[in-house]
Structure 1
């Protein structure tokens, strides 16, 4: 009994590791597991109760690597060690995971940290996307203000000039100037839209958002398009700006619908709205116990490879005549909710995934 109570106290002292996205195991000197954090549980598909007391090396394709690292660190042959290894997932269809692994001492225990290489690449991509998004927002906002100021003067001067012209043919040129100035004004207003309106926070039901978007898109495209629902109705309400989220989802769905124009003509265009709950996920540099996943999946031609990495950049569009602002604004509105929009695309299947933290 005293040993069990001591183990419980020891486990509580490592509970902070559950907040980390990195996989962490705390080992006894003999290599058995004293504590495993939630991220490691999820990756292995094995409960903490099963992990505790087991030989940690059995979860690797080459157990001798971790055995040597543990023995060397414990005997002080080296203070810490890092190397690559392959982690076995006993209950995840046996698919191995390549990881960077580090072993170090923590009082009488050894701490093993594992960084899945795929996860590391994904986190690097997310951080790069966030940094680029912030830089682009500042650039666009500054440029928009610089463009907006002279536009009014150009438009006013063209209208005054039109009053002085006697020839109707020459007046056509001033009409062009006024029309193009108005078009630029509309573009600038769209660029500045996310920064003009205050964040109106209230309770949001994501399925009400989806249903609103679905009805709008089907009114716009009544023939040849199906919008399927695949909802997890257990998802709770959360705090957010309902109008912004409707606009974000609508922009993504409309983008999908426009890409599906050829398939609409054939009558087999399809968009699926899918909601799921994700547990213990990391995005936007934060770890969340629960998050909402909203997928917008279409069976269109896919995003061109040339722009796939830049699809959320301002003024980047794969469609002739597109403004290149719809997805940029969607990403901005979702980021204002501490979320992220990702895209995976191959011909025949494009999946935009919106991630939002849940309470």
Structure 2
């Protein structure tokens, strides 16, 4: 094997995307990783100017030209590039001049790494918030029992009938606070794990929503029938999906959204990393509504307890839904703008042996 063939074989096996450009910035070579990134074949792009396939600012192209003329290497982090197919990429790239003319362009996609970092931060923040809330809830719940008990004893000792109204108010408000604290603490029992079908769960949720709203909200489905059954807590999954749809419906009703609608879309995804764990097969459930969207000021804290954009909202629905997804080793992400809010629930379809045999983590 010649040296050039050996070098080509090395480049072909790199996971980084590598392109070789000539003095006119036309593509002379691209390795398989670059073909996957740019969604095109090397044969099709050979001798084509780089700007025909990779759109960027004129300043980015000037950098390539200057590096070619000066012979100095150059690197840039988190650049935004757009392929001819319309795919927008966030990449790190390095430009290295080649002694015999031309430049070697090495591109590393950052989108997946940034998504993993974002998910890790989301999971960490949510776990920290849950620990804080659970500790606070326990501290509130202990004196509530004493307050309620004292009000009951006082109620028995009162002779005047009109005074009983005040003790009843104390008891009722203590019960209301205890109910709120119980919701913050979450379920006391371990969930029952069984084989579940995501579409049966969604149809059950649709029946509940339709009973609550009548025909005021249009429910649409786009299901992937290839998604298999998996081990999960049916009641909790119903609760998670129902919380998100109820939030959407209530937001659309409060703002008077014209022709309110919710789309449920399922897809099977392969080789997906959630947090730090890679899963072979994941169920993706998108819940899309055409409501007012989530305000930017609460977007970073939307999964925290007691955070809500609605005047009558408790701020617990999304926090509970995220906790349920975490118990299933999954995750909820969202994007939002006026007219479209999209919640994406990722549920691994293959739980570990310990999780499926002992119950989901609390």
- Cα pair 1:303 1:318 within 8 Å, conserved: yes
The answer for the alignment partner of 1:156 in structure 2 is: 149
Aligned to 2:238: 246
TM-score scaled by length of structure 1: 0.75
Distance of 2:31 and 2:270 partners within structure 1: 23
1:206 equivalent in structure 2: 198
User: Is the 2:262–2:287 contact (alpha carbons within 8 Å) kept by the matching residues of 1?
Assistant: yes
Find the counterpart in structure 2 of residue 147 from structure 1. Answer: 140
Matching residue within 293, 301, 314 for 1:310? 301
Name segments (4+ residues, structure 1) moved above 6 Å.
Answer: 9-14, 53-57, 62-70, 263-266
Q: What secondary structure does 2:264 align onto?
A: strand
Partner residue in 2 for 1:319: 310
1:28-80 per-position Cα deviation (integer Å, ceiling 9, x unaligned): 9x99555529xx72x42247xx58x979995756689789999x9xx9x99xx
In the TM superposition, what is the alpha-carbon distance from 1:289 to its structure 2 partner?
Answer: 4.8
Q: CA–CA distance in 2 between the matches of 1:263 and 1:60?
A: 42
User: Does residue 340 of structure 2 align to residue 343 of structure 1?
Assistant: no
> Residues 176-229 of structure 1, C-alpha deviation per residue, up to 9 Å, x if partnerless?
1101110111111111225x3324333221111110110011111114222111
Deviation (angstroms), 1:356: 2.1
- Give 1:166 shift: 1.3
Q: When the two structures are superposed, what TM-score results if normalisation uses the length of structure 2?
A: 0.74
- Residue 352 of structure 1 and its aligned partner are, at CA, apart by 1.4
**CA shift in 2, pair 1:143/1:96, >3 Å:** closer
1:36 aligns with 2:33: yes
2:129 maps to 1:132: no
**Residues 1:206 and 1:328: Cα distance change in structure 2 (over 3 Å):** same
Alignment partner for residue 263 of structure 2, among 265, 269, 272? 272
Unaligned runs of 5+ in 2: 23-27, 97-103, 351-362
Task: Indicate whether 1:99 and 2:121 are aligned.
Answer: no
Mapped contact 2:221–2:264 kept (Cα < 8 A): yes
Counterpart of 1:20 in structure 2 is: none
| Matching of residues 168-183 of structure 1 within 5 Å | 168-183=161-176
Change (3 A) 1:231 1:96: closer
Residue pair 2:89, 2:109 contacting (<8 A) in 1 also: no
Q: Which residue of 2 aligns with 1:224?
A: 216
| Distance in 2 (alpha carbons) for counterparts of 1:56 and 1:334 | 47
| Residues 83, 102 of structure 1: 8 Å contact kept | yes
Aligned residue in 2 for 1:167: 160
1:214-264 deviation line (CA, Å, top 9, x unaligned): 001111111422211121222222232222211110111111121122577
CA distance in 2, matches of 1:120, 1:66: 25
- Residue 227 (structure 2) aligns with: 235
Q: Relative to 1, partners in 2 of residues 1:143 and 1:111: Cα closer, same or farther, differing over 3 Å?
A: farther
Q: CA deviation at 1:275?
A: 1.3
The answer to whether the aligner puts 1:197 opposite 2:189 as a matched pair is yes
RMSD: 4.0
Paired residues of 1:44 and 1:88 also in contact (CA < 8 A): no
Residues 1:171 and 1:88: Cα distance change in structure 2 (over 3 Å): closer
Aligned length: 330
Runs of 5+ unmatched residues, structure 1: 18-23, 105-109
Equivalent pair of 2:264/2:287 in contact (CA under 8 Å)? yes
Distance 2:159 2:274 in 1: 63
CA contact 1:331–1:340 (8 Å) conserved in 2 = yes
Distance, in Å, in 2 between the alignment partners of 1:324 and 1:96 is 34
